[in-house]
Structure 1
Amino acid sequence: MKKKISNFKFLISNYIRHPLFSGSAIMIFGTNLANFIAYIYHLAFGRILGPNEYGELATIITLIGLLTSFYSFTSMVIIKVVSASEDKEVTGFFRFLNKYLSKIGLIVAVIIFLASPLIASFIHIDLIKVSLIGPIFYFMLLGFVYKTFLQGLLRFTKIVIVTNLEMIGRLVLGLLFAYLGLSVFGGVSGILVTVILIFFLARYYLKDITSRLTFSQYKPGKELFKLSAPLVISSIAMNFFFSNDLVLVKHYFTTSEAGFYAAMATLGKIIFYGTGPVGAVMFPMISKRHSKSQGYRKIFLLSLFLTIAIASFVLLIYYFFPEMAVKLLYGVKYLYVSQYIFTFGLYMATFTTATLFLSYFLSIGKGKVAYAMVAASVLQVIGIIRFHENITSVIKVLLVLSLSLLLFLIIYYIYSKEFRKK
């Protein structure tokens, strides 16, 4: 009996000491602290602005998220290259990316700025508020690349510091500008100033990489394209699937309904952001072990367990205490959405689990599954355009597609001989 207890304690100790567990613990704590600050941000602006203006701010933030999807694909590419490279190679890769992405980012930011009148007209928001999206895009691009290098180097503590300071900056500066009478424009301005400051902080944390004089010149070839293509496709499709609904709801629904939907979506996304750090730690670890022909199956299964456990905990709260969850974050004005948050949370839980499977496949070079995410994203747009009678119909479209995607990925995992051997 004592031997069994001793073995059990040893097993638990090994799991706690596992790099996935420790790295996930840091990322979960830090990221959820940042998410908590972000929810205070949404709570504060939701109450200060009311459903109509809050719907505008949430839509602009969602649009920024959609635009970042056009460069967020670089995260998986950077992590995969950095996690499998030596120090000198990392510096060469950094200089290559910094040189080209800064130029490309500037061009895209100018295009976004010039397109601001069209964007403002489509989402029915004043031009002056939309015009800040271009500059925000540019500095978020560079800051994002630097933060992703930190992740690829497994510097999770520094990522947590940067992420939390960014959320604090958005909250404090946004509320300050709103207090000065700038309303929605103040919230967007707070984001712009913050991302500029975070850009410099993230660069400082990479000074050992950026200042290294001896490095291997990075020359992209067919191998980079082969590596990047599925990561690019899946990342863009994933971000679109995650954000399309809010933009389409803002287009088809009334301003008030869009504001309620934005609040519901924010509550549902607690599941995605709460479990996201697990995948963020898993991807570079499996990528590194795969590049060295080491086992990684246990890492994935542990990641899957943690993801499902966290998602299930939040879902139980939404099922038994929906009104309390809404009141806690948004107040009584938003109680209308309490009837929807469990179903929306179920959609978000299935989508989050599906993205973990997708990240796993991509980390070991199985890029063909990216097209499943593309198909789901396209069908999502078609589904919402076809079925948008009310909030329930939109949620049904999202839930059916996320369940179908997850089922496909599970079947792909089970019937792949290579994965069963690992």
Structure 2
Amino acid sequence: MITIVNNFRKRISPEQLFMISVLAVNGGNYLYNLILGRLLGPAQFSDAAVLITFLLVLSFVAMTFQLVTAKFSVLFEDQLFKSFISKIYKNALAIGLVMGALIVSFSTQLQQLFNTSSSSMFVIFGCGVPLYFLMSVNRGVFQGKKAFKALSITYQFEMLSRLLFTLGLIFLFNIHSSVVIAIGILISFVFGLIPFKFKSIHFKSKSLVPLVEAKQVRHFFILTAFYELTQIIINNSDILLVKHYFEPYEAGLYASLALIGRIVYFIAWMFVMLLLPTVVQLKKEGKETASILFKYIGYIATISITIVLVCLSFPETIIKLLFGQSYIAMAPLLWKYAIATSMFAISNIFAYYYLSLDKYLPVIISGVFGMLQMLLVIFYHNSLEQVVYMQILAMVLLLIIQLVFFRLDHKKA
């Protein structure tokens, strides 16, 4: 048995091992959400969906630090790298403390805005925000250095601890509350720090990043932060707006729809993690990068078409298997929502590709269409079906514009 495992390890690359790990993590996160959906029912699940959405929003904000760390872990070496890492850890912790304090301070207002049953869940969540920012910088180092084994471990620990602790608390104490879910998320942030190199943080160190490199980091950070903001708007504004405009039961139904339909995006994220350091390294070596883009677009397009066809062919079966009979009303919208997320997933690859090459117009384009999607939902939300149609419209237009930009940029080159 040991010989078989060793032979398996030799045959697959670290990148392939990481992809397998990411699929396992996404599967675990899906299982976590599906079990919550079945245990809580549509109305209570809408509260859980707000917390899960807050977690996704936090992950996108913290992803700015992870991507910046990953990119400059490739470009910087020796003492410059150490100075950079020390500084970015300090900045990440400072921003995490500020954001966490804001969430705790406005917990009551957040409860009223999103019609949740408790404000305590926001207080508990806010306490974990600084840990998540430290965790993201730690992951950025692993990603940039292509330490995919350590990167896989940190994602696995976060997912497993959240799944086991949350469900353990629910089954042991029979408490079907959003506070329990918040506690599980907080615990997962602690475990997500493993493995962590505490020696990388030197709070009293005065080593400085040279002015030219510091300006380069700041410029990339600002553009990445802007792009992650567009990700937050496109990925999460629909759930939060539906929670605001619709009754808890309908919001819970929509949350189940979004969770199933977004499987395309979560799979695409795995390729983004591999894309950025690879493109940066190829650019550093003066090699062409378009072939890598086409490779990953091919993967995502194939996966997207397959998922849309499956959702079109067996919508009721999928809903019943994953969430149960209570959510069956969402079956007709499943394949339509999958189309919207597929368009976004492919557009996303273009944006991250150009972000890696320091070309920022696609990032601005994504921002414009992210705002367009949100505005369309704000003005047109007579039904859940109309909300989905508005997203399809915005994402199809975004993909068309990204393709046009690539063609013009490729011709110019």
- TM (normalized to structure 1)? 0.88
Partner of residue 284 from structure 1, selected from 250, 268, 277: 277
Give the 5 Å matches for 1:360-375.
360-375=353-368
Is this contact kept in 2: 1:170–1:191, CA < 8 A? yes
Distance 1:34 1:71, change over 3 A: closer
Partner of residue 202 from structure 1, selected from 195, 216, 220: 195
What's the counterpart of residue 143 of structure 1?
A: 135
What's the counterpart of residue 47 of structure 1?
A: 38
Partner of residue 82 from structure 1, selected from 57, 73, 83: 73
Distance in 1 (CA, whole Å) between partners of 2:149 and 2:31 is 22
Segment drifting more, 68-77 vs 301-310: 68-77
Distance 1:168 1:67, change over 3 A: closer
Partner of residue 387 from structure 1, selected from 372, 380, 401: 380
What's the counterpart of residue 338 of structure 1?
A: 331
Asked whether 1:312 is paired with 2:305, we answer yes
What's the counterpart of residue 9 of structure 2?
A: none
1:337-378 deviation line (CA, Å, top 9, x unaligned): 111110000111000000000011111110122111111121
Is this contact kept in 1: 2:124–2:183, CA < 8 A? yes
Distance in 1 (CA, whole Å) between partners of 2:319 and 2:233 is 26
Mind listing any 5+ residue stretches in structure 2 that lack a counterpart? 1-11
| 2:128 maps to amino acid | I
| 2:405 maps to amino acid | Y
Report the CA distance between 1:75 and its aligned residue.
Answer: 2.5
Distance 1:300 1:403, change over 3 A: same
Distance in 1 (CA, whole Å) between partners of 2:103 and 2:342 is 33
Distance in 2 (CA, whole Å) between partners of 1:168 and 1:67 is 19
What's the counterpart of residue 56 of structure 2?
A: 65
Report the CA distance between 1:276 and its aligned residue.
Answer: 1.6
| 1:117 maps to amino acid | T
What's the counterpart of residue 164 of structure 1?
A: 156
Distance in 1 (CA, whole Å) between partners of 2:20 and 2:326 is 30
Asked whether 1:264 is paired with 2:272, we answer no
What's the counterpart of residue 34 of structure 1?
A: 25
| 1:176 maps to amino acid | G
Is this contact kept in 2: 1:344–1:395, CA < 8 A? yes
Is this contact kept in 2: 1:68–1:137, CA < 8 A? no
What's the counterpart of residue 185 of structure 1?
A: 179
Is this contact kept in 2: 1:78–1:149, CA < 8 A? yes
Partner secondary structure for residue 288 of structure 2: coil
Distance in 2 (CA, whole Å) between partners of 1:133 and 1:402 is 31
What's the counterpart of residue 14 of structure 1?
A: none
Superposed CA RMSD in Å reads 2.1
Is this contact kept in 1: 2:107–2:123, CA < 8 A? yes
What's the counterpart of residue 397 of structure 1?
A: 390
1:199-247 deviation line (CA, Å, top 9, x unaligned): 2x1314x86x669xx9984245322222222212111111221110000
Is this contact kept in 1: 2:125–2:185, CA < 8 A? no
- TM (normalized to structure 2)? 0.90
Partner of residue 134 from structure 1, selected from 117, 126, 132: 126
Between the two proteins, the alignment pairs up a number of residues equal to 395
| 1:244 maps to amino acid | S
Report the CA distance between 1:322 and its aligned residue.
Answer: 1.4
Is this contact kept in 2: 1:79–1:284, CA < 8 A? yes
What's the counterpart of residue 174 of structure 1?
A: 166
Asked whether 1:230 is paired with 2:223, we answer yes
1:112-140 deviation line (CA, Å, top 9, x unaligned): 21111111111111112222121122211
Distance in 2 (CA, whole Å) between partners of 1:152 and 1:309 is 27
Asked whether 1:296 is paired with 2:275, we answer no
Distance in 1 (CA, whole Å) between partners of 2:187 and 2:159 is 12
Report the CA distance between 1:316 and its aligned residue.
Answer: 2.0
Is this contact kept in 2: 1:322–1:339, CA < 8 A? yes
Distance in 2 (CA, whole Å) between partners of 1:394 and 1:103 is 37
| 1:319 maps to amino acid | L
What's the counterpart of residue 47 of structure 2?
A: 56
Q: Which runs of 4+ in 1 moved over 4 A?
A: 21-24, 214-217
Is this contact kept in 1: 2:89–2:201, CA < 8 A? no
Is this contact kept in 1: 2:92–2:134, CA < 8 A? yes
Report the CA distance between 1:86 and its aligned residue.
Answer: 2.0
Report the CA distance between 1:290 and its aligned residue.
Answer: 0.9
Distance in 2 (CA, whole Å) between partners of 1:123 and 1:38 is 23
Identity %: 21
Is this contact kept in 1: 2:46–2:251, CA < 8 A? yes
Partner secondary structure for residue 203 of structure 1: coil
Report the CA distance between 1:87 and its aligned residue.
Answer: 4.2
Distance in 1 (CA, whole Å) between partners of 2:228 and 2:306 is 27
Report the CA distance between 1:57 and its aligned residue.
Answer: 0.5
